[in-house]
Amino acid sequence: TALRNGFPIVGQQRTFRAARDGVHSLHAETRRLATCLATAASPLVSQTPLTVYTHKDCMKHKVMFHPESPERLRYLVEDVIPPLAGELGFGLSEPDRWPEKDELLRIHTPDHVDSTLEAFRQVREGLTDSIYLDSDTQAVPGTEASVMRGAGATLQAVEDVIEGKSLRAFVMVRPPGHHAEPHTAMGFCVFNNIMLGVAHAQMKYPDQVRRVALLDFDVHHGNGGQAACWEDPNRFFASTHQSPLFPWKGQKTDLGAHMNVLNVPLSKEATSQDFRDAWENSILPKVREFEPDMIFVSAGFDAHEDDPLASMNLVESDFHFVTARIAEVANDVACGRLVTVLEGGYDPDALG
């Protein structure tokens, strides 16, 4: 649904339901997201408007009886995306790439990177079946491949967009990443995929990408993104999210070290109009003022009315709305450069 209705994450929610009850919701959301990203006006008509990045290894991470399930991605990868690609004319890519350690260290501390890689090694070699990286996040057989492929796909998407191979990218991977802070895993997230992409853009392409905006509409605050943007005047972070709710961060008073952080917390009773107003009247005008060279989006669809892990009541058209508006701003101020990475969304019908 995410791709159909507006953003990749909606497709994720439908994927999850698809495994349980059918594929109707996920299929719809994915189609909307893909349609929006693939058909939004492009400043360069000759460019591929959208490329979807994923990898089947991202389905290997599986914790029993856990809402962050491979089924969120399986149906999209196997059944939804291939025919949509033909219908909408967007590209598909399955990069054969893992991040280098120094690429992880651009965002994460040596302690976090080393302890995580050691956990991966112990599980891979059969020394243990599971290691908790934090209270909600486990390393089990398959976790290493899923995490590293997700980060690698994000890095490749960034390169392809900046080098003009595709105008926009949707990175459809799991587990998510936006709760992972520089020093720790958190909330199902091991490494922060989208921040690895931000740092990669700024460090590998300093002449093209100096200023970056990271926008997050997951129902949970993207605390990892905020933490990694806080001290950098060339990074702008903005989020809408349900509050109070895990991770219990993202207050209006969080402004960043350079007035480069903007949070718009929403109550569980917030309406679609409240969500749209937050983006239209508060966040996107600030993005225009910041004038980023590239825009990144943490796309989470767990603010959907059917999601089991939150209490907001958004619908597919709300995700389509915010995706379309962000694409317009990217065209106006960032040469169209836009990379979207899937985050949360745990209701299969809503994702589809």
Whether residue 262 contacts residue 230, with contact meaning beta carbons closer than 8 Å, is answered with no
Phi, psi of 107 (to 5 degrees): -115, -40
Side-chain half-sphere of 191: how many Cα atoms within 13 Å? 38
> How many helices and strands in the chain, by DSSP H and E?
14, 10
DSSP 218: S
Active site residue 24: no
d(CA 3, CA 81): 8
How far apart are alpha carbons 3 and 12 in whole angstroms?
A: 9
Catalytic residue among 179, 220, 241, 304: 179
Buried/exposed 110-149: b ≥16 CB within 10 Å, e otherwise: eebbeebeebbeebeeeeeeebebbebbbbbebbbbbbbb
- The dihedral through the CA atoms of 166, 34, 37, 238 has a sign that is negative
Is-contact 347 307, C-beta < 8 A? yes
**CA-closest candidate to residue 308, choices 60, 20, 5:** 20
Provide the annotated active-site residues: 179
